[in-house]
Amino acid sequence: MSASDITTFLPGMYYEVTARDNNEACRNFGETFTVAEFYSNAGTNCYVQCGICRQHMEILTAVLLDPQPEVS
C-alpha cells in the first residue's frame, strides 16, 4: 500500500514528501522526487504531478514539517 492510500494530510499544513513516477510512458518513470514544502490545502486531493507527463505520482512518504514555514 502506498503512502497515497494511507496518509491523512492535515488541512493547511506543510509536509516534506517523496513521490515516484509510475507512468511507464514517461521519461521520469521510476524516478523519485522530493518536494521540500508540500502544502496540504484542505487535506484532501493531495498529489504531486509530474512536470513531463502531467500524471499524478505515487506519494511514498510524507513528514509533517516542524516547525511549519512562516507564510507572509
Percent of the chain with pLDDT over 90: 81
Tell me the pLDDT band of 8, cut-offs 50, 70 and 90: confident
pTM of the model: 0.85
pLDDT at residue 1, rounded to an integer:
42
pLDDT at 3 exceeding the cut of 70: no
Distance, in Å, from the CA atom of 47 to the CA atom of 59, rounded to the nearest integer, reads 7
Q: What is the pLDDT of residues 45-57, one digit of tens each?
A: 899 999 999 999 9
Q: Which three cell numbers stand for residue 45?
A: 486531493
Mean pLDDT in residue range 55-65: 94
The residue type of 53 is C
DSSP 67: S
User: Are 68 and 20 contacting, i.e. CB atoms less than 8 angstroms apart?
Assistant: no
The residue type of 1 is M
